[in-house]
Amino acid sequence: MDARSIIAKLRQRQTPTQAELSWFANGLADQSVSDAQAGAFAMAVCLSGLTDQGRTALTLAMRDSGEVLNWDLNGPVLDKHSTGGVGDCVSLILAPALAACGAYVPMISGRGLGHTGGTLDKLEAIPGVITTLDEVRLRNVVTDVGCAIVSASANIAPADKRLYAIRDVTATVESLDLITASILSKKLAAGLDGLVLDVKVGSGAFMKSLKDAQALAGALAKTANASGCPTVAMITDMNQPIAPALGNALEVNEVMHVLTGQRQGRLVEISAALGGELLVSANLAKNADNGAAAITKVIVDGAAAERFGKMIAAMGGPVHFVENWARFLPEATVIREVAADSDGYVNLIDGEALGLAVVALGGGRQRENDEIDPAVGLSNVAQLGEKVKRGQPVVTIHAARETSADQVEAVVRNAIKISGAKPKVPDLIRERTI
């Protein structure tokens, strides 16, 4: 085999065999495939596309280019993946909630990308927390606590790491086939018994249209199931932030309010819906409603908070974080309220603009090696359909300097539109796909 013949096949709209895709993925991992060949491969897939079988074969080839974890535990190994949005800190609630329901969750997560926040960045807002665990420590934490939220090691799907970097500089990031293989190769390498996919749609998501979200959800669910992992995809609304806060420490603060029973709302609703589907797939609940009720129960009664606290301590964080989280989370120097200019209803929220405002404050990365300020961001974000009066705060800016707050205030004002007519608020759970 050689790279040129595989690329030529793709250019001629033929799907390479499983053996050919495995050879190419291994070549990506061990550097025997050149950057030029990797770029040509990505472009050929982007322009010609793959069949359903080809997409599954590429996913498995990329998964098998590195280590695939195996578990010997007394419960199912489950996970969730979100395609990214704003105020999306669901993983920090769902992982410990699933653990409290009898599952094990080795959640391999990522960092902020574009206007969306990263789960690892949020966790690392907690002093001492280390998300780069070696396999031995990961296994110990998952076995003892029931969950761990970590970054992918260099041994997990190395072909994807190489190909993703190439895609980023060759304008092939948006290929549905490559997106699917990239997401699932890392998730399936964790050795899962079940997976739920949270595909976001709306102003704060990468997928702005329902049609695009449906295409991605269908590709992900079909490919994961064909790869042997029972999977459900849910399309959820991202026309407003899931939590009323954007920014790493601020989102952890919202999570702790939920886990300690001080707040309900959208975070609990979506966590219960996603977790309920997973519990059904793992035979830990009779149906989705029972599964959602089980997730809600462990959130309300504190069992999920207990697991979260144990996970934080096991990953290097404070031992008594759950009892004293406000003491440990960093706070911004400048806190400024932004008031409504008129009476009316919150009619539109530009989630992407709010996410980019957080990046501009220093809460995200404009370049790969940028350091993040965990304290900055936005809080108390008004909800779609909320009635407000002129002068009433609709968002609070948390900044390191007055000049930074000045720079984003106009952006934040423009991102939250107020009108006299009350809008129809989209359902949080839009669709379910198997």
Catalytic residue among 111, 122, 167, 307: 167
**81 in active site:** yes
**82 in active site:** yes
**271 in active site:** no
Catalytic residue among 55, 186, 266, 310: 186
What span, in angstroms and rounded, lies between the C-alpha atoms of 66 and 159? 8
Catalytic residue among 55, 115, 122, 187: 187
**198 in active site:** no
Answer for the pair 400, 333: CB distance below 8 angstroms, yes or no: yes
Structure-token pair, residue 202: 């709306």
Beta bridge partners of 416: 349
Catalytic residue among 55, 56, 64, 81: 81
Catalytic residue among 82, 109, 180, 396: 82
**419 in active site:** no
Beta bridge partners of 396: 337, 379
Catalytic residue among 91, 119, 281, 396: 119
Catalytic residue among 55, 80, 162, 307: 80
Tell me the CB-side half-sphere exposure of residue 127, using CA atoms within 13 A: 12
Question: Is residue 68 classed as helix, strand or coil in its secondary structure?
Answer: coil
Q: What is the largest CA-CA distance in the chain?
A: 69
Enclosing H/E stretch for 397: strand 393-399
**153 in active site:** no
**79 in active site:** yes
Single-letter amino acid code for the residue at 224: A
Catalytic residue among 79, 88, 177, 350: 79
Catalytic residue among 83, 182, 236, 433: 182
Cβ contacts of residue 190 below 8 Å, gap of 6+? Answer: 69, 77, 79, 106, 107, 108, 156
| Nearest C-alpha neighbor of 299 from the set 338, 333, 270 | 270
**Catalytic residue ranges:** 79-82, 119, 167, 182, 186-187
